[in-house]
Chain A
């Protein structure tokens, strides 16, 4: 594996959350990818993207409008859960009762050119959002590095990207239409039903179903993204300057290595051009190198580090330039599982250094690069960035490998730094411990939730675990 190959795949690696180290069409090792078998003619399961959550709902509904969602809410039986693209790793979706797909609630509803605002239906994917907004002369200021989620799903979980001057997707929401479990339609914003608005901007889907979202946008812009392999010590020496100098900066520490992949993204300049080719297959070599070397007694991990250093010795970088909504996202075709916590921005370096040391000291079987990002503070009640600028650190494991053992070794380090888990990713915290991480507004959120859903109709097992039941 050459450094050039590696850098080429920073795009595939970076993926907001994730790094896929096996290629889209390569064999991932023969383990069953699906958690449940399907037999034609038998009940159809719902399965999340990561393949670690599934259900067999008794009823599936696919409303295409707010009015139809009202009808669904009034007629549905049992626990109701909405699903967008199914990219959450946590079990926010599974229900044995009523599963509401937002697949048919897509597209642009309206826009205000003067205010630079646009209203989208909740099931619109971020993939489709870019060109829809571009056509009306608007763009979101920042986007996650993969665009499969729906806008409603992204907002419900405070899905984010990177950039010290940018909040999560929830931070750009200025209005929402919410249908409560009782079938009431609530228009909310900072001025109208502000408590519902503050709760709904990061709700994990506990308040009902969001049918429309209004975003505060800016004029369309172009970006240039540059990916490099660098020494991690060089990044630590200059990370503050890099964050100030660039519109977006993030990097991917590689376990058992002194190397990392950096990704800097800035407004495109005249003359910027693409360099390198996308080659998702090449990144699979990292796993192969890990598997081929780390079994060697005593020196395996050092051997792996040496192999990486030699492989990446040549100079190279990958550059992607284009419209913002074309440059922000990357293709994600490789299955993995992910845990992410956000610690206070100033604690980021110490936290990730401790994790890297722990992985090495305990010889944990983890070759996926981590992801390290900064996000600006906001005032959204249950946002991971509420009240403090955050550093989000993501840990990944291949989809065909047990993740629980490794994540269990690392998760306490996040707790030590008062980390807040990503709502859509894997963690083990319950309501009591989560409440302690959100001292200012946990009860505010709970009051709104109980008011809108007094019978706990949106509460599946996972939501009962994180919110403490109805």
Chain B
């Protein structure tokens, strides 16, 4: 069944991320995460953004993020902090600073990092 298959895939992601380089490029952008942010991505963001039945935009699927990219990074940050529709406030990340959230948003949604920041 679709959602169970997806769940299985999702649960593999933390291990996958752990095994990856700590400087990982998202498919659509050039955001870089440090080890701490990578841990937060693996334990928080992927709970929903890698599970189709949540209705959340899926990591790596560019078409899901067009409406997010269109609203801009600051507006997206506000939505992440406040929560929106199915998105929990702060994306469940109580350890995240504003800078952490910005980096994670760039990585997950595919926002380009500001010039001189996180370019590969």
B43 adjacent to chain A (CB < 8 Å) = yes
Contact of B83 among A33, A104, A127, A148 (CB under 8 A): A33
Contact, CB under 8 Å: B89 / A320: no
Q: A83-B94, A103-B44, A125-B43 are in contact. Are A331 and B85 (CB under 8 A)?
A: no
B84 adjacent to chain A (CB < 8 Å) = yes
Contact, CB under 8 Å: A101 / B95: yes
Q: A44-B97, A103-B95, A326-B7 are in contact. Are A127 and B89 (CB under 8 A)?
A: no
Q: Which residues of A contact B (CB under 8 A)?
A: 23-28, 33-34, 36-41, 44-49, 51, 60, 62, 83, 85-86, 99, 101, 103-104, 106, 125, 127-128, 130-131, 148, 274, 277-278, 280-281, 320, 322, 326, 331, 333-335
Task: Name the prevailing secondary structure of the B interface residues.
Answer: helix
Contact, CB under 8 Å: B43 / A322: no
Q: A128-B14, A278-B2, A280-B55 are in contact. Are A106 and B43 (CB under 8 A)?
A: yes
Instruction: Render B3-24 as a binary contact track against A, CB cut-off 8 A, 1 for contact.
Output: 1100110011010000000000
CB distance from B6 to the nearest CB of A (A): 9
Q: A41-B98, A51-B89, A103-B43 are in contact. Are A130 and B11 (CB under 8 A)?
A: yes
CB distance from B53 to the nearest CB of A (A): 4
CB-CB nearest 8 A-B residue pairs: A24-B55, A333-B86, A24-B86, A34-B82, A47-B89, A103-B95, A274-B1, A62-B95
Q: How many A-B residue pairs have CB under 8 A?
A: 126
Q: A40-B78, A148-B47, A322-B4 are in contact. Are A103 and B94 (CB under 8 A)?
A: yes
Alpha-carbon gap, A229 to B55, bound state (A): 24
Q: Which residues of B contact A (CB under 8 A)?
A: 1-4, 7-8, 11-12, 14, 36, 39-40, 43-44, 47-48, 51, 53-56, 74, 77-78, 81-86, 88-90, 92-98
Alpha-carbon gap, A49 to B48, bound state (A): 14
CB distance from B34 to the nearest CB of A (A): 12
Look across to chain B and name the residue whose beta carbon is closest to the beta carbon of A279.
B53
Q: Can you name 20 A-B residue pairings with CB atoms under 8 Å? A: A25-B86, A33-B83, A34-B81, A34-B89, A39-B78, A40-B78, A41-B98, A44-B97, A47-B82, A47-B89, A47-B90, A49-B83, A101-B95, A103-B93, A104-B36, A125-B43, A326-B8, A333-B48, A333-B55, A333-B85
Instruction: Specify which chain A residues have a CB less than 8 angstroms from the CB of B8 in the assembled complex.
Output: 326
CB distance from A271 to the nearest CB of B (A): 15
